[in-house]
Amino acid sequence: MTKTRVRIHFTKTDDLRWISHRDLARTWERLLRRAGLNLAFSEGFHPKPKISFPSALALGIVALEEIVEMDLVGPVDVDQARQSIEQQMPAGMQLLSLTELPPGAGKALMIAASYEVQLSQADALTVRQQLERLLADGQIKVLRDGKTLIATFGDPLLDITCEGDVLRFTLPTTAAGSLRPSELLEALSIAHVLPEGAVLTRTRVHWTAHSGTAQSGTAQPGAAQPGAASGSTAVPADESLSATTSAETTE
């Protein structure tokens, strides 16, 4: 049976940000059926749809560019598939791109993700003060499930800036354990902003295929240059906040 593998970039905004990762997968299954596209299933006693996401997104986070990959049954006209999918997308979801993958292409693996959140002036000031402290300490320590994660300087994929009242940061993804957005907010002494109504947005997923070629929606992962919080000491280009781990943890 002929199969066509495709990679789709899409948004997840508005009320759609409140659906779970599992419900998002089900949404895609229904969407594809309504679009007249047949999703391929694995073989065996418990066949599962051949659809995958490089990374799950926590409830409540707006996503401006997510990735989903899937195997479709038979040959697929990419332009027609794009039009059919767009017609079936729910509110809060927009199709950014649809690409047919060549045979043997590796799956997309997330290596980092970029986020932003609008802050009050008082919280932005707190972030700049805490960022100066973290830079002086040379590391960020996070305790999770009785284990310590240590983020140090050196890896260009971890970047934190505060421009005006907008906090922007990029967090690398590692197999051993990666800083979560909520953990970084706590380290910056602003863990309260999300419960109080601030909206966290994932602006970009940086990814690599099995070929090892790093990519993202609009730029290479390292393209976001290390910066400094507005009003604080500048971070040199070779001293962006970077994440390394001192102990294995589970995500």
210 close to 148: Cβ distance less than 8 angstroms = no
Helix (H) / strand (E) element for 144: namely: strand 139-144
Q: What is the largest CA-CA distance in the chain?
A: 60
Collapse the DSSP code of 16 into the 3-class scheme (helix H, G, I; strand E, B; otherwise coil) and give the result: helix
Side by side, the strands of the sheet bearing 147-153 are 139-144, 147-153, 241-243
**DSSP 8-state code for residue 239:** -
40 close to 3: Cβ distance less than 8 angstroms = yes
Q: Give the model's pLDDT for residue 200.
A: 98
Q: Give the model's pLDDT for residue 211.
A: 56
* Closest of 178, 172, 174 to residue 157, by C-alpha: 172
Collapse the DSSP code of 182 into the 3-class scheme (helix H, G, I; strand E, B; otherwise coil) and give the result: helix
Alpha helices in 20-176 (DSSP H): 21-34, 78-88, 121-137
* Closest of 60, 72, 74 to residue 31, by C-alpha: 72
Alpha helices in 89-248 (DSSP H): 121-137, 181-187
* Closest of 232, 206, 230 to residue 54, by C-alpha: 206
Alpha helices in the chain (DSSP H): 21-34, 78-88, 121-137, 181-187
| β-strand partners of 124 | none
Q: What is the pLDDT along the chain (251 residues), one digit of tens a residue?
A: 789 999 999 999 999 999 999 999 999 999 999 999 999 998 888 888 999 998 889 999 999 999 999 999 999 999 999 999 999 999 999 999 999 999 888 889 899 999 999 999 999 999 999 999 988 887 888 888 888 887 776 777 889 999 999 999 999 887 667 889 999 999 999 999 999 999 999 999 998 886 545 565 543 333 333 333 333 322 322 222 233 322 222 33
